[in-house]
Amino acid sequence: IGPILSTTSGDSPINHQEIHAWQKNVQVKLCPWEAQTLRDMSRHYLLKMIKSDHQDSPPPWLPEIDQQQGERVAAKVKDILRG
């Protein structure tokens, strides 16, 4: 199982059929909550991947900052670049 499914109609979160096939192939039995967690993680991964396509999107490992914090960072960067 990968983090998402890539098909001719586009990317999508993994589905129950894929999880079931994976369980049969590797002879692992997941609890229902584990299978649902995999689906949730796949959905969140795909949403982040879609958001990251936008150039102004911050990397997912950085905390979200508000406008005031962003303005302070921008001012510091400008000061550093001015010398």
Residues 36, 5: Cα–Cα separation, whole Å: 16
Task: Judge whether 13 and 43 are in contact, CB under 8 Å.
Answer: yes
Closest CA to 32 of 46, 16, 18, 44: 16
Confidence band of 15 (pLDDT split at 50, 70, 90)? very high
What pLDDT does 23 receive?
Answer: 96
Q: Lowest-confidence range among 7-11, 27-31, 59-63?
A: 59-63
pTM, rounded to two decimals: 0.65
Greatest Cα pair distance, the chain, in angstroms, is: 62
Where do we find the tokens 């098909």? Answer: 7
Residues 16, 53: Cα–Cα separation, whole Å: 27
